Chain A
Amino acid sequence: MDERNFLFLFYGLAAAWILLAGYVLTLAAREKRLERQLDTLKRMLEQREKDG
């Protein structure tokens, strides 16, 4: 392979993967937050229904 500008090819590909990985991490964090909220709400409703 012609290696001229290889460093910038690396920068470009690294930037693309970092952006994609960042988005995937955001998705994973959101999923955890939503699951937590869902669990909390379900438990709270069960408790209220038992009490009331």
Chain B
Amino acid sequence: MGDAMRRTILYAMTALGALWLARNLYVILLALPDEVAQGAIYRIFFFHLPAWFTCFAAFFAAGLASLLYLIRKSPGYDAFAAAAVEVGVAFTAIGLVTGMVWARIIWGIWWTWDPRLTWAFITLLVYVGYLMLRRAIDEAAERAKNSAVLCIFAFTSVVITYKAIDWWRTQHPGAVLSFRTGGGTIDPAMESMLFQNWFALLLMAAALVLIRMRQERMAREIDGLRRRAHAL
């Protein structure tokens, strides 16, 4: 894919994501029905859940790209994995912070070591560890191989985080989405908005991944030029 094509896709995704997000904000804040017990704070779920879906999708894509890197040894897969993990970490932080603000109102505390929250935090730490590992290894092929292995194993933490509300029924609310409960636990308009806002966040995440991948390519070019400079 050429640079011009990449740039066009990037601008199109960013514009579509921004427009869709603006429209969603209007619906979330002004059009959706109220929730009886929670007041306005329940509307934070339309960012909290989609942020988690986005980071899970990013970590899944990074794991897949890492596996493909180990099979094919193409640096493009490594660049994609690094970009997806970094963007995933940003959305994990958003998921954690929005959850904490909700918890402060509904539970009266910012944080508790409930299994879901604890695993979510561990997931954040594991992927931050992945980014730190990448910084610690100078040699490109060695860095790509080691971080690919870590990225594949790290995904187990995502699976445990996702399933924690089924395996340990403690303080964090249980599943509400129809595909997990069989329906009847959430207003269809609210559920639809959760997925619509996920789409908007996914577009933004994809645009950020493309920008980050371009930086990985630049960093590789810089490494190559440095080697040439040393050889001269």
Given contacts A2-B34, A3-B39, are A19 and B229 in contact (CB under 8 A)?
A: no
Contact of B211 among A31, A35, A49 (CB under 8 A): A31
Point out the residues of chain B lying under 8 angstroms from A1, CB to CB: 29-30, 34, 40
List B residues 161-213 near A (Cβ within 8 Å).
Answer: 204, 208, 211-212
Given contacts A1-B30, A41-B226, A49-B232, are A6 and B97 in contact (CB under 8 A)?
A: no
Point out the residues of chain A lying under 8 angstroms from B212, CB to CB: 27
In the complex, the answer to whether A16 meets B30 with C-beta atoms within 8 Å is: no
In the complex, the answer to whether A34 meets B90 with C-beta atoms within 8 Å is: no
In the complex, the answer to whether A12 meets B225 with C-beta atoms within 8 Å is: no
In the complex, the answer to whether A4 meets B39 with C-beta atoms within 8 Å is: yes
Complex Cα distance, B105 from A6, in Å, reads: 11
Contact of B105 among A8, A37, A49 (CB under 8 A): A8
Point out the residues of chain B lying under 8 angstroms from A24, CB to CB: 208
Binds A, one of B57-65, B74-82, B216-224: B216-224
In the complex, the answer to whether B222 meets A38 with C-beta atoms within 8 Å is: yes
Q: Mark A23-52, 1 if CB is under 8 A from B, else 0.
A: 110010011001101100110110011001
In the complex, the answer to whether A12 meets B39 with C-beta atoms within 8 Å is: no
Given contacts A1-B34, A2-B40, A6-B40, are A19 and B225 in contact (CB under 8 A)?
A: no
Consensus secondary structure, chain B interface: helix
Contact of A9 among B41, B225, B226 (CB under 8 A): B41
Number of A residues, CB within 8 Å of B: 31
Question: Nearest chain A CB to B15's CB is how many angstroms away?
Answer: 15
In the complex, the answer to whether A12 meets B97 with C-beta atoms within 8 Å is: yes
Point out the residues of chain B lying under 8 angstroms from A48, CB to CB: 229, 232
The reply to whether the CB of B47 lies closer than 8 angstroms to some CB of chain A is yes
Complex Cα distance, B195 from A46, in Å, reads: 52
The reply to whether the CB of B118 lies closer than 8 angstroms to some CB of chain A is no
In the complex, the answer to whether B211 meets A2 with C-beta atoms within 8 Å is: no
In the complex, the answer to whether B93 meets A41 with C-beta atoms within 8 Å is: no
Point out the residues of chain A lying under 8 angstroms from B137, CB to CB: none
> Can you spell out 19 A-B residue pairs with CB atoms less than 8 angstroms apart?
A3-B40, A4-B39, A5-B38, A5-B39, A8-B41, A8-B101, A8-B105, A12-B47, A16-B94, A23-B208, A27-B208, A31-B215, A31-B218, A34-B215, A34-B219, A34-B222, A38-B221, A41-B222, A44-B229
